[in-house]
Amino acid sequence: MERAHARRHAPQPRRRGVHLTEDDAEIVEGRIVDERGGAPLSVELGRRWVAQLRLVRGPGGPAEPLLAVRSCASRTEKRCSDELVALTAGRPLQVAGRTAGIDATAALRGRLDSGRRLSADGKSCATRLSVREADGTRRTLPRLPGGDREYARCRGLSALLIYGRYAFASVMRESPRHGFDAEFFYGIDLAAGPSARWTEVARPYRGTDGGSAIGIGPAVTDQALYWEEYDSVEERIFTLNQVALPRDIEREPTIDTPNTSEPIAPDAGEVCDIAATDAAIYELANPRCALGYGDGRSGEIRRVVNPQFRPQED
């Protein structure tokens, strides 16, 4: 496994703690390195390059870390395969098993975590979403919110994501009057019981004839989701935004909700992706995969600790 592919496609900063979680390990030259100490664990993939990595949790939660890997024998998609590598949570790290199939693909797509699988029965804005629990039972989730006065036209389902007790879904909407479009991002607490409903928590993408605000992320922890907002006109990262959990699902955020902060690296334009732990937020900067051109020539991982979030109007 080449370092360039591992760092570009899945920067994984680590969370300090007892159990290995999705942010506790990273892939470096074919090895899983645990910041708690101990010898690196090598994972043999053969003569293949890594296209995507994602660490999720099995039905047992943090005690069952699973590394989802998409590796390819060439740059043709049909030569790629998906695999789940089960890891031990304690030290030293060991491989507990390896499986291929639809669970690995679902994990890589963000639709499988903690034994739960999120799925949709179509791609329209009226599609029904469901969750299959670890014991095999399935429940249908409430319908997504039906409309918006300004963004009256819905183009369809955009993304699905599940993380621990939360499920997320987004749809793309248009304003016929002004020609604007936006991504409406919703969240629901799967542990909140039968009264739980979807809440709009963010609009990561907003487009007009003059330019766009593009969300890079989300980075997800049990406490929050994070995006950095890229301004296509200024060609730089404008803000760091959060969705606090469960606060912003229990009550829809407003302009007075303290969810906006300074970007991790002010005036930077070469950001590819972000990741987060309980202690810090990280961004991967590399002009080869960034939306903007930037001034950098090589990859860099930047870190911010305890950013101060404020209301949008401050």
**What is the DSSP track for 205-230?**
EEEETTEEEEEEEEEE-SSEEEEEEE
How many domains does one find in the chain? 1
Q: Which two tokens stand for residue 41?
A: 């664990």
**Is 51 contained in some domain?**
yes
Q: Which residues pair with 160 in a beta bridge?
A: 169
Q: CA nearest 26: which of 41, 38, 48?
A: 41
**Is 85 contained in some domain?**
yes
Given a contact cutoff of 8 angstroms between Cβ atoms, the answer to whether 238 and 293 are in contact is no
For the beta sheet containing 300-305, the strands, ordered from the edge strand earlier in sequence to the opposite edge, are: 271-276, 280-285, 300-305
Alpha helices in 176-274 (DSSP H): 247-250
In angstroms, the CA 142 to CA 104 distance is 26
pLDDT at position 30, please?
A: 60
- Contact partners, residue 277, CB within 8 Å, separation at least 6: 13, 14, 15, 16, 23, 221
**Is 75 contained in some domain?**
yes
**Is 207 contained in some domain?**
no
* Domain carrying residue 26: 1-109
In angstroms, the CA 35 to CA 15 distance is 8
Q: CA nearest 117: which of 158, 163, 156, 81?
A: 163
**Is 31 contained in some domain?**
yes
Phi, psi torsion values for 106, nearest 5 degrees: -65, -40
**Is 217 contained in some domain?**
no
pLDDT at position 148, please?
A: 82
**Is 281 contained in some domain?**
no
**Is 139 contained in some domain?**
no
Per-residue pLDDT of the chain (314 residues; tens, 9 = 90+): 222 223 233 333 333 222 333 343 444 346 676 756 777 888 877 777 777 888 889 998 888 989 898 888 887 788 889 999 999 888 888 888 999 989 999 999 999 999 999 999 999 988 999 999 999 999 999 999 987 888 889 899 999 999 999 999 999 999 988 889 999 999 999 999 888 999 999 999 998 888 888 899 999 988 999 999 988 888 888 899 999 999 999 999 999 999 999 998 877 668 888 888 777 898 888 777 777 655 556 678 888 988 999 998 65
